[in-house]
Amino acid sequence: MDTEGKIPSSVAIIMDGNGRWAKKRLLPRSAGHAAGMTALRKIAIHAATVGIKYLTVYALSTENMSRPKAEVDFLIDLLRRYFSDYIPEIKEYGARIRVIGDVSVFPDDIRELMEKAERDTATQNKLVFTIAVNYGGRDEIVRAVNRAVEDGEKVDEKSFSSLLDTEGLPDPDLVIRTGGEVRVSNFLLWQGAYSEYYFTDVYFPDFDEKEFDRAIEAYGRRDRRYGRLKKGDK
């Protein structure tokens, strides 16, 4: 990987294109989601291996939850399988697991699997692997505002950040979106204020280690200015 030495510490991924990947192969959408789950196993392990410190993935948005019941049920079952079959392996790579989003809608057994994964990995720090489920950036902000109102304290940017689901996580340096759409889709709205965005046409099930490295390399060529002038400009 040629990164000119600049590797992002924190990477987030909008995993899009499962349905189109399946359609192209005349398969049901569920096959695309299952293939996406396998891709996510590889990407998490790869991220830990190449020295990414924080990886946050958009596994289920609040909006995804209103898809047809059969698809939502399938995705929820996939989540169960991901936590029971894949997380134990990913854990071995030193990953700390974290879940964000409103998990109250999930069955007890899945919530328990999530809590167990968080508990069992609480002291690991090679990679903080955060999985966003039933997550929406606006919903997260509204919940945080309500918490601030309940606390009755004025907030500033720092204290407000700590009311969000991502409390304690750094903002993403790089947000990757697969699947060809060029939009943010309610993901990490607050946290992405100064992120670099990388969009690729590759459908998520085909997003492999090589494609991930390509995104990291593209980040290495970006000039992050956070609203300031370019060096040498006045």
Binding site for ligand FPP (CB under 6 A): 15-20, 29, 33, 36-37, 40, 59-60, 64, 75, 78-79, 82, 179, 204
Q: Could you tell me the smallest distance in angstroms from the CB atom of residue 7 to ligand FPP?
A: 23
**CB-CB contact of 105 with 134 (8 Å):** yes
Catalytic member of 2, 18, 64, 201: 64
**With respect to ligand FPP, which residue has the nearer C-beta, 16 or 173?**
16
**Is 16 annotated as catalytic?**
yes
Cα(71)–Cα(211) distance, integer angstroms: 27
Query: Closer CB to ligand FPP, residue 19 or residue 172?
Result: 19
Cβ-closest position to ligand FPP: 19
- Closer residue to ligand FPP in complex, CB, 11/59: 59
User: Which residue number, 103 or 148, has a Cβ lying nearer to ligand FPP?
Assistant: 103
C-alpha to C-alpha distance for 218 and 183, rounded to whole angstroms: 18
CB-nearer residue toward ligand FPP: 151 or 180: 180
**In the complex, minimum distance from the CB of residue 202 to ligand FPP, in angstroms, rounded to a whole number:** 12
CB of 59 to ligand FPP, least distance (A): 4
CB of 75 to ligand FPP, least distance (A): 5
Q: Rounded to the nearest whole angstrom, what is the least distance from the CB of residue 21 to ligand FPP in the complex? A: 7
Q: Give the residue numbers marked as catalytic.
A: 16, 64
